[in-house]
A and B are shown apart, each in its own frame.
Chain A
């Protein structure tokens, strides 16, 4: 079996990226060790814990059990790509205000799952947040503040939307 590198082309956080990787690498290994994007964490490394969660075409995906070739031709978003030109993503801001990150290891995966939820359900109920984050384990068991933060991020997003609506009406 040849172990020579192969070229993989991905769209990561909006940018076209190219890397030479061993052909049996996962998406997570490619992001971390070939592209320097170490935000996505290598936790259990077998698809249980959710620390490696990234978005593939907007859907939360476990990058540690995704062969890198499965991501070719799709849009990959990591925690590094959640912030926009105007600053942190509302859910990142809420994590800061609520102290929702303890040791921080699960945080990048949680933020990706939460950002995907807020994209399709801008003002989720607490139950919807729980369902959406069911695949992200927090070993510090700091779930309460995580849930509070995501619900509040939804509230901020709703205010922003209604705020901009008023501005355009005015």
Chain B
């Protein structure tokens, strides 16, 4: 039996009210949306907020909206409070960002997706074998750098926490150049999602503790004479495909010219270090080429060279490294598997 630590539950009706509650109670307060990450972590005493500010009852955080953009194409807006099940099943998301729908549909299990939100997925706490354990377990080991201790059991020497970023939707949103809107005590700000994450396993986000993600905005360029629609792909490795967190997640996006040759290509890998890793020097391998088996092979190999799995997962790092090219090729194959709207 795992009991929750005592807390006071607040039910703000507006986003502003929620932000004020977080400001009023400072580091004693945390926002709770679906609670599928926070509640188990509280049961493990990884967080012990004495105030929980509930976001489920705030109408402003809901809604998925697609509208035509002035400069052509579309703008997709997703309220941070939308459940992962709702994002996965949304017609516009499936049509314009199929990899996002796929990623959302493969997070945890069905019950988690009913409660868990896309905003919550962006705020998912980093994970590590030595951290996501009960208080009893962690105490027996003398705790760890991320929580209550001074030693990292993964690197053994480092003074930096390397707990893994383990969320599935951020890599897809990064390849799609999404922006996130944050509401804080000083007002509203917008941040490219590529800048949201930092390489610090203890708190890997630019989001301040008293800020709430309000919505996610994705600009989707329409096709023109030279470039077809944006295509997206996603693939994931996990122990049990039914419920587990990712061991490795790869998201890719690309645009092809009318001849089917690659003109734009981006890839992001996560599940390894404290923030998602943007794959580099990819376009030079693929630009002007069709996605032939040889190109897929070369892209997968280059992705593998750039990734260094650590012992922050219970699964052997060498095997996970060997799987990077495999999962990357699967994500790339996914690019051409979806029929997109023109």
Contact = CB atoms under 8 A, between A and B. Distances in A.
Chain B binding surface, main DSSP class:
loop
A108 B243 CA distance: 19
Contact-residue size bin, chain B (C-beta under 8 Å from the other chain): 20 to 34
Contacts of B9: 23, 67, 69
Interface string A13-29: 00000000011111000
B35 A67 contact: yes
Nearest to B243: A135
B108 interface: yes
B99 to A, nearest CB: 19
B109 A50 contact: yes
Nearest to B50: A1
Given A69-B54, A135-B243, 11 more contacts: A23-B7, A47-B36, A47-B111, A59-B114, A60-B110, A62-B111, A69-B9, A134-B241, A134-B242, A135-B110, A136-B109
Interface of A: 1, 3, 22-26, 42, 45-48, 50, 53, 59-62, 65-67, 69-70, 113, 131-132, 134-137
Which of B4, B32, B108 counts the most chain A CB atoms within 10 A?
A: B4
B39 A47 contact: yes
B2 A62 contact: no
17 contacts: A1-B6, A3-B6, A23-B9, A24-B4, A24-B6, A25-B4, A46-B43, A60-B111, A60-B114, A61-B114, A65-B36, A66-B39, A67-B9, A67-B32, A69-B9, A70-B56, A135-B112
Contacts of A47: 36, 39-40, 111-112
A66 B56 CA distance: 12
Contacts of B243: 48, 134-135, 137
Interface of B: 1-9, 11, 32, 35-36, 39-40, 43-44, 50, 52, 54, 56, 85, 108-112, 114-115, 241-243
A129 B243 CA distance: 15
B5 A61 contact: no
Nearest to B57: A73
Which of A22, A24, A65, A131 counts the most chain B CB atoms within 10 A?
A: A65
Contacts of A25: 4
